[in-house]
Homo-oligomer: A and B are copies of this chain.
């Protein structure tokens, strides 16, 4: 799927099976920059957060990175002091193998909360990963990141800066426990652009707000969410800052990469087979529009109705009504794609069949206008099927 893709210049990666997940399933990955790269990171806002997230936050203070080392299968969350020792040891061993300071290693874990990391396996894995990494193992790396994901998630962008071609390659994983701020997901973005660390952090935060923080699968925020961006400057451009002429070109490309990865996560939502875009306009503020869109996107009754291809706009009205956004019932209009379901808070004259046609598609939008102001927001979500329940009974 991604076997023809290469990482940006000066990056190598690898994905291997070390026996954390069932035998032979890839569960450990490395993304390595040959030189010290500018680093940026955005993390879960959950007060209960995994040991590797805590370690990443510490290391990010230094602003540079040589490598991301990650495992899937075990989240190393709720593991106390032993978990911190494991995460630090994962970073230290990697630093020894790579030949850098531990704070230049970012460690990530995703999987079940509670169990401890098998440090012997991790330790062997680090060495093997370093030995086999090349610039061309994008597919293997993306596979090693997966948990309940049904497919690996990678996207790329190329932009011209100072006449130089800059590559961006982004990875993501995530399918359940997805609710922004942050959405269980990991994403790693590599670029050969030279970028000032602070500027990169600002750009990444903004890109995440417009992408990963706009999606929802099940309304559960995870303990491990992490987005990391590494910019190693191998392309030879002058270091980009927010004052650079080409700054917008770069940050737009970063936004696009994050957006595409976020959409891949929703498309791969656990048990989901429909992608739903919830657009709210006419709110008193963008913030209130966001609250209304999230209430609609997270309503279990909306998600199940979408699973049934049933245009139950009454449930959409209901969820807008209990959102914390100001709503004047008589002002609300709702369209399913371009087909009007609700006018002035009541059923439109459009025949039900037309609405059923829209909601029977695998990809459609719910467009809600509150008619109270200029605020607008979009949230991307998916339906909730019996399969979601089956996946999550353990």
Contact = CB atoms under 8 A, between A and B. Distances in A.
Chain A interface mostly: loop
A304 interface: yes
Contact of A318 (B48, B388, B393): B48
Nearest to A306: B393
Nearest to A321: B48
A57 interface: no
Contact of A392 (B304, B332, B392): B304
A120 interface: no
A374 interface: no
B318 A392 contact: no
B346 A300 contact: no
Contacts of A113: 312, 314-315, 317-318
B310 A393 contact: yes
B177 A301 contact: yes
Contacts of A115: 347
B345 A78 contact: yes
Contacts of A322: 45-48, 179, 220-221
Contact of A304 (B75, B305, B393): B393
A318 B394 contact: no
Interface string A151-180: 000000000000000000000000011010
A384 B384 CA distance: 12
A346 B86 CA distance: 14
Interface in A296-333: 299-301, 304-305, 307-308, 310, 312-315, 317-322, 326-330, 332
Given A45-B322, A78-B314, 16 more contacts: A46-B318, A48-B320, A78-B317, A79-B346, A80-B345, A80-B346, A82-B346, A113-B312, A114-B313, A114-B347, A220-B300, A221-B322, A222-B318, A300-B392, A304-B393, A308-B393
19 contacts: A48-B317, A48-B329, A49-B321, A78-B346, A78-B347, A79-B346, A80-B344, A112-B314, A177-B318, A300-B384, A301-B392, A304-B388, A304-B392, A304-B393, A305-B393, A307-B389, A310-B393, A312-B394, A386-B389
| Shortest 9 CB-CB contacts between residues of A and residues of B | A308-B393, A113-B314, A48-B321, A304-B392, A386-B386, A221-B322, A80-B346, A46-B321, A47-B327
